[in-house]
Amino acid sequence: MDVIAWSRIQFAMTAAYHWLFVPLTLGLALVMAVMETIYVIKKDDFWKKTAQYWMKLFAINFAVGIATGIILEFEFGTNWSNYSWFVGDMFGAPLAIEGILAFFMEATFFAVMFFGWDRVSKRFHLVSTWLTGIGATISAFWILVANGWMQNPVGTTFNPETVRSEMASAQAFWEVVSNPVAISKFFHAITSGWVTGGVFVVGISCWYLLKKRQRKFARASILIGSIVGIVGSFAVMLSGDASGVHAAEFQPMKLAAAEGLQDGGRRASFTIVPGIKIPGMLSILATHNINGYVPGINDILNGYTDNEGNEIPSVAEKMAMGREALIALSIYRSTDDPSEKAEARYALEENVQYMGYGHLEKPEDVIPPVGVVFWAFRFMIGLGMLLLLELLVIGWLAWKDKLAGKRWLMIAAIVCIPLVYICGQAGWIVAEVGRQPWTIQGLLPVNVAISSLSAGAVKTTFFVFLAIFTLFLVIEIRILIGAIKKGPETPKE
Amino acid sequence: MKTFRQSVSAVWHFYRDSFRNMTWGRPLVWLILLKVFILFAILRVFFFKPAMAGLSDEERSRIVGERIAGRQPEAGEPVPGPETYLP
């Protein structure tokens, strides 16, 4: 494997590891905030103990997950230095806001939430608990603004002097923040965290029921966990629908790969699994119109007319325009003749949206690994539906207090804990592998984004990380299991 | 001023007493400190030196510009049109 492959695998591993902790932080934050709210309203100590227990698991997850995102920033500077320079001006604002908010909101209110029981007023403590979760959510928003821009780079202008994508005005900043891809990604990621939190709480609570321990606590937790998870699941579907429409609009190749769609058309079918299709469904999902046109991989390669009547150039034509942009950039940066510079700048601005295509060797380079994206998409949807079913059934039975004796269902709920993580990781594979070969859609392919490093150097750090991550994960799981075995401090039944 | 000092003092005592009285949370704090040490004192220093550390912005622009543009054209070299690249 070359340096690009090792750098990508290392980044994927780090991001996947980081995403083990983030969704549970987001989901448990909501679960415990709801529980503490019930405590404050009902003034019932049972709910306080229940909230405290989930807060303990939240704290363990938080402690092991903290700073795992910083490693991604290390990798930007070392492995992806061209990319880092290219996006530095644009990423600066969102990531600075994220850092400040993450540090001040989470650190301040987490401390009050964690240490402040019986030391600050009930209401202030409750506000702190909510603000801890809101802080984590806002923090995620800014990260997803940055990620959303990479999928759909709006609001910025390429500056050939600095070789950066820059935000020229407050209006540009607003365009970046309100990027529809970022908004749908934000809601999709956050609400998938609610599902993770819900499934986690339901699964752990079912373990107590299986062990015939803490039945009141377990039933109450299942009710709250399943409500949070069910609400999250429906919100994930809505935001996923928006993501599909945005993929069709801004990243049609990703959608075509996720569907394994070679040749598109109107009334395009949605493939459940190879051989089983729902006619017209893909057109509905991608365009909200059964007669909507969905391009396939070959249509994108050869050019097509979109639903607004725009002629989309073939990839070969985009490559030609991209190479014109690169040559214009080269001339602009090397000449001192003002008229030649002006001419080069004009040529660059005319073609800059396809600049990244100038680096491709052949049109087929724009096709991501179809099999990986296709199956990751099916795992994500299939597992998502299964988890919703699990939450509905167990939530309903807990509501009716008919869970007792349903041993297989409780075991299934425990099995669902790893499944919800696989579901979330599959979603990110669709999003990130599906946009290959781009780091920034249409502007910067991965082979240009990378630093001049040897594959051996990246390989070494990959295995160093792998060892450290595995160690910390084992420590976390051990501490978590210890806390779960010990159980909550609610009265035993 | 007094109120400000009292507030700062209250916050300081809140954190100090909280950390002193920690029970099951204490290993977590050590875990965080260990991790931060590994991240910043080992990985950052020995394995993750920024590739363009110590360079000025102009030098960074030049390096990335050369990488992105791919090559410097010869003086007077004609700019090829799209037909050059179309299959």
**Per-residue pLDDT tens over the stretch A92-104:** 878 888 878 777 7
Percent of chain A with pLDDT over 90: 76
CA A85 from chain center: how many Å? Answer: 23
Among A328, A359, A390, give the residue marking a domain's end.
A359
User: Do A342 and A386 fall within a single domain?
Assistant: no
Provide the pLDDT for residue B1. Answer: 61
User: Do A224 and A110 fall within a single domain?
Assistant: yes
User: Do A135 and A276 fall within a single domain?
Assistant: no
How many structural domains comprise chain A?
Answer: 2
User: Do A299 and A246 fall within a single domain?
Assistant: no
> CB B68 to CB A56 under 8 A?
no
- Among candidates B48, B63, B69 on the partner chain, residue whose Cβ is nearest the Cβ of A78: B48
Give the number of other Cβ atoms within 10 Å of residue A52's Cβ: 17
Distance CA A399, CA A391 (A): 12
Among A316-320, B40-44, B76-80, the least confident range? B76-80
Residue A364 domain flag:
no
Residue A411 domain flag:
yes
User: Do A310 and A413 fall within a single domain?
Assistant: no
Q: Which residues of A touch B32 (CB under 8 A)?
A: 63, 66-67
Provide the pLDDT for residue A153. Answer: 94
Q: Are the C-beta atoms of residues A27 and A193 closer than 8 Å to each other?
A: yes
**What average pLDDT does this structure show over B49-56?**
83
Distance CA A47, CA A35 (A): 6
Range of the domain at A42: 3-251+371-486
User: Do A460 and A352 fall within a single domain?
Assistant: no
- Among candidates A63, A160, A324 on the partner chain, residue whose Cβ is nearest the Cβ of B28: A63
Q: Which residues of A touch B36 (CB under 8 A)?
A: 67
Where helices occur in A260-364 by DSSP H, the ranges are 281-287, 297-302, 315-334, 338-351
Q: How confident is the model at residue B43 (pLDDT cuts 50, 70, 90)?
A: confident
User: Do A396 and A346 fall within a single domain?
Assistant: no
Q: Which residues of A touch B87 (CB under 8 A)?
A: 316, 363
User: Do A247 and A280 fall within a single domain?
Assistant: no
Q: Are the C-beta atoms of residues A240 and A191 closer than 8 Å to each other?
A: no
Residue with the bigger pLDDT between A235 and B83: it is A235
Residue A366 domain flag:
no
Rounded to a whole number of angstroms, the distance between the first and last alpha carbons of chain A is 57
Tell me which chain A residue has its CA closest to the CA of residue B47: A461
Residue A258 domain flag:
no
Residue pointed to by tokens 């604002």? A93
User: Do A303 and A183 fall within a single domain?
Assistant: no
Residue pointed to by tokens 């070359």? A2
In chain A, which residues have pLDDT < 70? Answer: 490-493
User: Do A166 and A58 fall within a single domain?
Assistant: yes
Provide the pLDDT for residue A461. Answer: 87
> CB B52 to CB A81 under 8 A?
yes
A165-224 pLDDT tens trace: 998 788 888 999 999 999 999 999 999 999 999 999 999 999 999 999 889 999 999 999
Residue A142 domain flag:
yes
Provide the pLDDT for residue A490. Answer: 67
> CB B48 to CB A74 under 8 A?
yes
Q: Which residues of A touch B59 (CB under 8 A)?
A: none
Q: Are the C-beta atoms of residues A54 and A28 closer than 8 Å to each other?
A: yes
Cα torsion for A327, A333, A338, A340, to the nearest 10°?
-10
Provide the pLDDT for residue A491. Answer: 63
Residue A365 domain flag:
no
> CB A323 to CB B81 under 8 A?
no
Distance CA A231, CA A287 (A): 25
Cross-strand partners of A305: A311
User: Do A240 and A353 fall within a single domain?
Assistant: no
Residue A109 domain flag:
yes
Among A307, A326, A359, give the residue marking a domain's end.
A359
Q: Are the C-beta atoms of residues A389 and A409 closer than 8 Å to each other?
A: no
Provide the pLDDT for residue A167. Answer: 87
Among A359, A382, A403, give the residue marking a domain's end.
A359
Give the number of other Cβ atoms within 10 Å of residue A116's Cβ: 17
Provide the pLDDT for residue A353. Answer: 93
User: Do A338 and A400 fall within a single domain?
Assistant: no
ipTM of model: 0.80
Q: Which residues of A284-313 are buried (b: 16+ CB within 10 A; e: fewer)?
A: bbbbeeeebbbbbbebbbbebebbeeeebb
Q: How confident is the model at residue B2 (pLDDT cuts 50, 70, 90)?
A: low
